[in-house]
Amino acid sequence: MYTDEFSDTIIALSTSQGVGAIGVIRLSGSKSVEIVNSLFSGKNLAKQASHTIHLGKFVYHDQVLDEVLVSLFIAPSSYTKENVVEISCHGSPFIQQKILEALIDSGARAAKAGEFTMRAFLNGRFDLSQAEAVADLIASDSEASHKSALQQMKGGFSLEIKKLREDLIHFASLVELELDFAEEDVEFADRSKLKTLIDEIVMVMEKLIHSFKLGNVIKNGVNVVIAGKPNAGKSTLLNALLNEERAIVSEIPGTTRDTIEETLNINGILFRFIDTAGIRESVDVIESLGIEKTMQKIETASVVLYIFDVTTTTAEDLRMESETLSKNIPLLLIGNKSDKASLTELENKFYGFENMIFISAKQLTNVDQIKDKLSDIVLDKSVNVESNIVTNIRHYEALNACRGALQNVLSALDSKTTTDFLAQDIRYALNALGEITGDITTDDLLDNIFSKFCIGK
């Protein structure tokens, strides 16, 4: 279904910025072969077959810029279903810039972020949620996020939604037909069959909406804020947590300058441990209900690990401190230095607290229990990681909108309201479903989605 809709030929550096052995510049559009051919000294590219590679010199204004390999993908056998040319050049940012400039001078236009994938979508290569999965795949940084992006690229839940949407369209058209014959008071759409279908769709929606909690965790990772008084053993705990898997530990500069994040992969999910220096340095802050900044950090957390020294903390202290910390965020209490007392003693002392683990960070006792507990808190056991999971907040919102509209349809059916209201609610639901798969799009929506891609994809 190759279309000639886009008259211009777009171009971008498709590999990441920076010095490397090679860099790849990609063109897409009806003139891409012609444009590259005009700057290529070697075989006549216009006469070569699709999926072939050609060595030659890239020459601009009689000056050789580089020796390059040119790969040809002739429409529709390409990513965008247009003519695509990839130029593999030496990985010097200077050379890449020169080649890009020469190609733009010769008629190509610098691509916007995601524009290649947008063309692929508009030319029918895949639906919108599959296109979005391409960006997720590129951004994937853990086993689970990688798997869910691939699943979504294969079609994922959008196939299921497409099917349900078609069934609903069938009923919608019957309901709309009733509107045309409003004065005759006929019912073309079988109300009980419609109700059954909508019940089914709502059930699917709810399953998918429910999966978003996990999907979000898979896609974005889990922020774990570690809090605690000085000398509670916070750094020792962090080291203990990271120690075993040192190989996959990395230091990522935080979004703010004063925090360092340490990441740890637990069961395929990325956990980011955020060391709130603010809390550490100002003991009194926590006790006096905290400073705004500290609390802000905690509010971005999915889980708070609160570590305390079992030998110096009373149950009353802990109750006060933990009440201050936890609002809606799961709190895991870590009683450190548990080697200095018996377990029975500790259990008596801190009787009645939930989510508490006694450890010895120094002796590495029970540290694995923390990992298991973190997994438990985050992973929804009722959702199978292998199944279709919603990871995209746009889909989540559309699913919620659809469920809301369908629930209105259901109450309209129950209360036997007029057909126009029923028809309108069905239209809302169809719209929300169509937005997920891209059957219904607006320019704004597309711009918004593809602007989040990287340039060159």
Give me the residues that bind a second copy (CB under 8 A), please.
Answer: 12-24, 26, 51-54, 64-67, 71, 73, 86, 88, 90-95, 98, 116, 134, 137-142, 145-146, 150, 153, 453-457
| Least spacing, CB of residue 42 vs a second copy, in Å | 12
Q: Which ranges constitute the DSSP H helices of 181-291? A: 191-220, 234-243, 277-281, 283-287
- Residue nearer to a second copy on the CB measure, 153 or 177: 153
Give dist(CA 221, CA 264) in Å, integer.
10
Nearest of 153, 155, 125, 97 to residue 28 by alpha carbon: 125
Give dist(CA 95, CA 38) in Å, integer.
18
- Residue nearer to a second copy on the CB measure, 41 or 52: 52
- Residue nearer to a second copy on the CB measure, 308 or 453: 453
- Residue nearer to a second copy on the CB measure, 99 or 304: 99
DSSP 392-431: -HHHHHHHHHHHHHHHHHHHHHHHT--HHHHHHHHHHHHH
| Least spacing, CB of residue 250 vs a second copy, in Å | 11
- Residue nearer to a second copy on the CB measure, 67 or 299: 67
Q: What is the largest CA-CA distance in the chain?
A: 86
| Least spacing, CB of residue 151 vs a second copy, in Å | 10
Tokens describing residue 244:
């075993």
Tokens describing residue 320:
């006060």
| Least spacing, CB of residue 50 vs a second copy, in Å | 8
Give dist(CA 262, CA 250) in Å, integer.
6
Helices 419-437 and 393-415, axial angle in degrees (round to 10): 160
Q: Which ranges constitute the DSSP H helices of 224-314? A: 234-243, 277-281, 283-287, 292-299
- Residue nearer to a second copy on the CB measure, 92 or 365: 92
Give dist(CA 333, CA 336) in Å, integer.
9
| Least spacing, CB of residue 317 vs a second copy, in Å | 42
Give dist(CA 449, CA 178) in Å, integer.
37
| Least spacing, CB of residue 232 vs a second copy, in Å | 33
- Residue nearer to a second copy on the CB measure, 127 or 425: 127
| Least spacing, CB of residue 102 vs a second copy, in Å | 13
